Amino acid sequence: MSTNTPAVRQAAQAPATTAARKDVKSLLEGPAFRAEIAKVLPRHLTPDRMIRVAITATIKTPKLLLCTAESLTKCLLDCSALGIEPDGRRAHLIPFEDKKKGVFICTLIIDYKGLAELAMRSGMISNIHADAIRENDVFEYDLGEIKTHKINFREDRGAAYAFYAICRFKDGSVKADVMSVDEVEAIRMRSKSPNEGPWVTDPVEMAKKTVFRRLSKWLPLSPEFRDAVENDDEVEELLNVTPKPVQIAAPLFTPPQVEAAPAPQPDPEPDPQSPPPPLESDPGEAQPKTELDAKRWHIADAFVENGVSFDAFRKWMEEKRNMRVTVDSFAELDEALTNRIMGSLAGLVRQAKAFVEGGAK
């Protein structure tokens, strides 16, 4: 799709000033741009509708008017050709600052819902679904097939630890893919804007899109869908090996980290005239030395204080959560399980307590 049209060239080099804002807005509302998008729009959209959506996007995100006219109109022409509105649900227009050139560049990011809409146009797909898998969900995945995903909306679902996408074809066949939080985070950190835009405002939707993009490589989809994936500026080409500054960002989906317990203070010298203190029960575990130890102690305290011993905890995990626990104490829980429990500790304690009390009746 060519963006080298008179309407585009008119303001391509406009500086980021108040006058430039007016120039860009005038360009979007002008007859030349209307004629350009009319050439590529599918039948279900009109130029008036697309221009109105574009103007609304600039009102919601004023920095779009500071973008070069070339980048902004290119994104809008791409959206028009695909038949997707940049309404903040199907597709996003994000101003990305190019500090080397001192300008803002408009970036097109197509949402999961936009990709799903394009995929359905192929005529071969009957249903597409993507979702987050959370700590308290019942989820089973085996040999590329999602066996079950059950959600109890009456309880806190807990932190997300994976995401999946599933596609059902009209011939009855099914294709699915699952990505862990770590895999999604790795894709996020390769993106141009991991700390702004939809990755911050709609992280779950972006995670769904990430896993659906990977699934789409196995699907026979329409040319429009292929163009959408290629035109999506969110993820940079993997062949680009130019070193980039390290981007530091807090993970979006992992539970908040627990502060490590303060280092134990040395006991004061005992007074030989005072009676010895009463003996305390031995907890059977060393004082926490690391952040992981502190989390394990916090978990142990929460369960034990609610009447759930480690043996009862292990039995509950195996019978109710289908997870085999092979260690012999809370202090030996592995890091992955520890972090998962911390993500929804209160809800898990309630469930384990109810399990213990139910067995005692």
Average pLDDT for 149-176? 92
Strongest mean pLDDT among 40-44, 170-174, 214-218, 293-297? 170-174
Residue 248, pLDDT above cutoff 50: no
- pLDDT at residue 48 tops 80: yes
Dist. CA 80–CA 38, nearest whole Å: 8
pLDDT of residue 165: 93
Neighbours of 236 (CB within 10 A): 12
- Beta carbons within 10 angstroms of residue 291's beta carbon: 14
Strand pairing report for 145-150 and 138-142: antiparallel
The CA distances from residue 228 to 9, 28, 115, 129, 204, in Å, are 24, 22, 7, 19, 20
CA-based nearest residue to 115, from 238, 214, 237: 214
Residue 150 has pLDDT above 90, yes or no: yes
Q: 67-100: buried (b, 16+ CB within 10 Å) or exposed (e) per residue? A: bbbbbbbbbbbbbbbbbbbbbbebbbbbbbbeee
Say whether pLDDT at 322 is over 60.
yes
pLDDT of 35 over the 70 cut: yes
What pLDDT does residue 122 have? 74
Confidence of residue 148 (pLDDT cuts 50, 70, 90): very high
Percentage of residues in the chain having pLDDT higher than 70: 74
For residue 135, give the nearest of 330, 343, 324, 295 by alpha carbon: 343
Q: How do beta strands 160-169 and 145-150 pair?
A: unpaired
Write down the residue that tokens 């030989």 correspond to: 272
Phi-psi label, residue 28: left if phi above 0, alpha if psi -120 to 50, beta otherwise: alpha
| Residue extents of the structural domains in the chain | 6-109, 112-221, 291-360
pLDDT value at position 163? 96
- pLDDT on residue 37: 86
Q: With 80 as the cut, is the pLDDT of residue 147 above it?
A: yes
Question: Tens digits of per-residue pLDDT, 189-222?
Answer: 888 778 877 888 888 988 998 998 888 877 766 6
The pLDDT tens digits for 85-131 are: 888 888 889 888 888 888 889 988 888 788 888 888 877 888 889 99
What was the pLDDT predicted at 282?
40
More confident of the two residues 211 and 8: 211
Question: Which stretches within 271-320 are classed as H helix?
Answer: 291-305, 310-320
**pLDDT grade, residue 180 (50/70/90)?**
very high
